[in-house]
Structure 1
Amino acid sequence: MTEYRTDEEQAELLKKWWAENGKSLLATIVIVAGGWFGWNSYQANEQATAENASMLYSQLVDKVAQPVAQQDEAAKAEMEALAMQLKKDFGNTSYGQFGALFLARFAADAGDFDTAAAELNGVIATAEEGPIKYTAQARLANILIQQEKMDEALALVATVPDAAYATQFEEAKGDALFRKGELSEARAAYIRAQEAAANLGLNTQQLQRKIDNLAASGDA
């Protein structure tokens, strides 16, 4: 499976999205909420909620970033609890959706692909168009590949929604096509993924190995 190597990148994309869209979103919420209670009360509540969510999310990211050798069963249980709390307490907010992404990751790492797929489908159903939804789509495609559901995986990544996600979408597309035996198409997808990764300054070694393996098999 394509490695989950972009969590920090997704966090940065979320921060960028919030910087560009957060003020207008907050203004809309305030207008709707204004008829129910005063701005001061609303502002205090929203600030407290955001701070609590941010604290939980930071704790989770810090623990996930620890070396794998330090992540014993107790640490894994704590990470799962933090992710579940984010999902439960902050619902369909971005923080809650990130909690679901992490729960899907933990399930996939444990080989529980059904649970991982359920978490990712939930994110896709509730997230707006943007980084979180696109990440969930790419990851679900990888899960579906593990479940031998190649056509469903290909449908998820058929169209690249944003250049920043071309690497993930095209690599998943290549993996599904490879498993289907469509080697020429798989190699073309890997090459597109490699070019996208290079444009983003990402490591391309894994993709180069996949391309070389196909070339060595005679599919040049």
Structure 2
Amino acid sequence: MTELRTDEEQVEMLKKWWDENGKSLLVSVVIVAGGWFGWNTWQTQQQEAGEAASYLYTQLVDQASQPAAQQTEATRTEMQAMAEQLKSDYKGSTYAEFGSLFLARFAADAGDFDAAAAELKALIAEADEGPIKYTAQARLANVLIQQEKLDEALALVNTVPAEAYAVQFEEAKGDALFRKGELADARSAYQRALDAAQSQGLSTQLLQRKVDNLAAAGDA
């Protein structure tokens, strides 16, 4: 896929999220029942579960941040297993949602776009409005573009939900429009993505090439 740069940035986003929120993350469902001993037992169990999930998540992020060329088949198998465990063992938590994002990424990297799309659609349907859902929408749009489902992709990224996601949404929009042959609109989308990337201090090399290539095509 063409979104390696975006994936690397998302790994950094996940690391930043962990630094800011991971240590304080607890399972959200609180059961007010039983006596003081029961409450303490429940708290201990929740803390232990949260610590186990955070350790697993950190291991997964660390491995996924390694260059693809350095990842062995055994490493990829291990990452797949960790993502599946996050999703299955910590349902209803942010960790499980990140597990789904990773599973979709691994499927897309392997060329299994049907599996990636199914994973992302399920996550979008369940996730609350916010970073996880917006990331899943942008990634699903990229998967749909690979499947030549261009109108479906455009529908997902038609409106940028938050400025932080302008780069992902506008670039995906540009890719879909380019595939449709709507080059002027594609260039405009790429330019908006480029402007957003510059304002956020992100890498702009790939986006600049896309803008320049379409400018050259227009001149020709």
Q: 1:2–1:172: 8 Å Cα contact kept in structure 2?
A: no
Residue 192 of structure 2 aligns with which residue?
192
Q: Equivalent residue for 1:103?
A: 103
Once the two structures are TM-superposed, the CA of residue 62 in structure 1 deviates from its matched residue by 1.4
Question: 1:10–1:131: 8 Å Cα contact kept in structure 2?
Answer: no
Aligned to 1:155: 155
**Which residue in 1 is equivalent to 2:134?**
134
Normalised by the length of structure 2, the TM-score is 0.89
Change beyond 3 A, Cα 1:93–1:213: same
Contact 1:124–1:133 (CA<8 Å) still a contact in 2?
yes
Q: Distance in 1 between matches of 2:20 and 2:64?
A: 23
* Partner residue in 1 for 2:89: 89
Where structure 1 has 5 or more consecutive residues not aligned to the other structure, the ranges are: none
Deviation at 1:68, TM superposition (A): 2.3
Matches within 5 A, 1:40-55: 40-55=40-55
Number of residue pairs aligned between Structure 1 and Structure 2: 214
Per the alignment, residue 33 of structure 2 pairs with 35
The one of 5, 9, 27 equivalent to 1:6 is: 9
Q: TM-score if structure 1 supplies the norm length?
A: 0.89
Mapped contact 2:14–2:61 kept (Cα < 8 A): no
Give a deviation string over 1:120-163, Cα, whole Å, max 9, x none.
11211111111111110000000000000011001101111111
| Structure 2: runs of 5+ lacking an equivalent | none
Shift of 1:64: 1.3
Identity among equivalent positions (%) equals 60
Secondary structure of 2:201's match?
Answer: coil
Q: Does the CA-based 8 Å contact 1:167-1:196 persist in structure 2? A: yes
Tell me, in whole angstroms, the C-alpha distance in 2 between the residues paired with 1:101 and 1:133: 10
Q: Is the 8 A contact 1:107 1:116 kept in 2?
A: yes
Aligned residue runs from structure 1 range 66-81, under 5 A? 66-81=66-81
Amino acid at match of 1:35: A
CA deviation after TM superposition for structure 1 residue 194, in Å: 0.5
**1:33-88 residue CA offsets vs partner (Å, 9 max, x unmatched):** 11366432232121111101001111111111223232111111111111111111
State the alpha-carbon separation in 1 of the partners of residues 167 and 189 from structure 2: 9
CA-based RMSD of the aligned residues comes to 2.2
One-letter identity of the residue aligned with 1:9: E
Mean Cα displacement is larger for which, 118-127 or 145-154?
A: 118-127
Deviation (angstroms), 1:218: 1.3
Contact 1:183 1:219 in 2 (8 A): no
1:22 positional shift: 6.1
Distance between the aligned counterparts of 1:88 and 1:201, measured in 2? 36
Instruction: Letter of the 2:32 partner, please give it.
Output: G
Q: Secondary structure at the match of 1:217?
A: helix
Moved more, 67-76 or 140-149: 67-76
